[in-house]
Amino acid sequence: MQRLLWLLLTVLAAALILVTREDGSFAGLRRIDLASLAVNAILIVVVGSFVLVRFRDRLTSALASALIWVTIALLLVVGYAYRFELQDVADRVFAELVPGHVSTRGHTVEIVGSSGGFSIAAQVNGARVPMALDTGASSVVLTQDAAKAAGLPLEVLAYTVTVDTANGRARAAPVTLDRVAVGGIVERSVPALIAPPGQLRESLLGMSFLKRLDSWEVRGDRLLLRGNP
C-alpha cells in the first residue's frame, strides 16, 4: 500500500511540474490538455489501488471474470459486424442438414434434395407452403389446404381446367397468385391451379413459376434457382 501511495505522489508531482512550465506546453500538449492528462492518470492510479486493495485476496478470480466478460463483449461485436456473413453460413449449414431448407446468396437460391426429389419451403401470398419440384407440371398446383392457407376463396372456385394426375384425369380451378416466393426470389401474379379435394397430396412448383426465372438447373442433389437481377 505504501508503494502505491509513493507512486501516486510521484505521478502527482510530475503532473504539477508539467502543468506549471512557463511556456504552458509539453510535447505539443497545451496546459489544459496536460491538466486533463494528469487528472486521468491520478484517477487510474487511485482506481487501480482500490481494486488491488479490495480484491487482493481474489485478484485471480476478478481477472478471470473480467477476461470472460471482455471475451463475451468481443464476440458480440464480431458477431454483429459479420452478421450477414454468419447468416449465409447458417443458411448453408441448414440447407445441408434439413432437406428443403432454402439457402439464398444474392439472386441465387440453393436447395438440397432428398431421395431424388426436391421438397421446397415456399411462400404463397405470405403463407408457408411446402412444395415438390415438378418440371413436368405446366403450372404451380396447390392442394386445398395450401389454397386455404394462402387465403384463396375456395367456395367460389370454378374447376374448369382438365389436368392429368397420378390418379387419372381431373379438373382443377385456375387462379392467379399474388405472390410466390422461394427464398429471396419473389414472383408476382403467378398463374396457378387448385386441385380438387383428395386429388393431390402435395403442392407442386411447376413451370408457371420456373419459366419466369433467369435460369434454373439441377446439379446432383442440388437445385439452383437464379432470379432476375
What are the C-alpha distances in Å from 164 to residues 10, 129, 161?
A: 94, 22, 10
Q: pLDDT at residue 129 above 90?
A: yes
> In this predicted model, which residue has the larger pLDDT, 229 or 155?
155
Q: What is the mean pLDDT of residues 219-225?
A: 86
Assess contact for 164 and 195: CB atoms under 8 A: no
Q: Does any domain span residue 86? A: no
Residue 201 lies in a domain: yes
Contact 62, 50 (CB under 8 A): no
Q: Which residue has the higher pLDDT, 108 or 24?
A: 108
The answer to whether residue 181 scores a pLDDT higher than 60 is yes
Same-domain pairing of 74 and 143: no
Q: Report yes or no: 209 and 137 within 8 Å, Cβ to Cβ.
A: no
Instruction: Give yes or no: residues 110 and 174 share one domain.
Output: yes
Same domain assignment for residues 43 and 99 = no
pLDDT of residue 10: 62
Task: Show the domain range for 110.
Answer: 94-226
Task: Work out the percent of the chain whose per-residue pLDDT is above 90.
Answer: 33
Q: Evaluate whether residue 89 is within a structural domain.
A: no
pLDDT reported for residue 110: 87
Are residues 4 and 11 in contact, defined by beta-carbon separation less than 8 angstroms?
A: no
Of 34, 56, 81, the position where a domain reaches its end is: 81
Q: What is the CATH number of the domain that holds 195?
A: 2.40.70.10
pTM greater than 0.75 (yes/no): no
Give backbone dihedrals phi and psi of 183, rounded to 5 degrees, phi first: 60, -130
For residues 150 and 214, state if they share a domain.
Answer: yes
Q: To which residue does cell 503532473 refer?
A: 15
**pLDDT band, residue 26 (cuts 50/70/90):** very low
Of residues 57 and 102, the one with the higher pLDDT is 102
What is the domain count for the chain?
Answer: 2
Co-location of 74 and 102 in the same domain:
no
- The answer to whether residue 87 sits within a structural domain is no
| Residues 125 and 73 occupy one common structural domain | no
**The pLDDT of residue 203:** 94
Grid cell in block for residue 164: 392429368
Model confidence band, residue 23 (pLDDT cutoffs 50, 70, 90): very low
Give yes or no for residue 153 having a pLDDT over 60: yes
Task: With respect to residue 197, please indicate whether it lies within any of the assigned structural domains.
Answer: yes
Kindly state the cell numbers that stand for 111.
Answer: 436447395
Supply the pLDDT for residue 113. Answer: 80
**41 falls within a domain:** yes
Q: Which pLDDT does position 80 carry in this prediction?
A: 63
Torsion angles phi and psi, residue 60, rounded to 5: -60, -45
Q: For residue 215, which of 204, 203, 227, 202 has the smallest C-alpha distance?
A: 227
Q: What is the average pLDDT value for the chain, to the nearest integer?
A: 75
Average pLDDT in the 176-202 region? 92
The last residue of a domain, from among 19, 48, 81: 81
Which one is predicted more confidently, 158 or 93?
158
Asked if residue 9 has pLDDT above 60, the reply is no
Residue in the structure block whose three cell numbers are 381446367:
161
26 falls within a domain: yes
DSSP state of 166: T
Of 23, 57, 81, which residue constitutes the final position of a domain? 81
Q: What is the rounded average pLDDT of the residues 64-90?
A: 65
Which H helix or E strand runs over 58?
A: none
- Range with lowest mean pLDDT among 60-64, 161-165, 196-200: 60-64
Tell me which residue of 99, 97, 132, 107 sits closest to 186, measured CA to CA: 107
**Rounded average pLDDT over 158-175:** 83
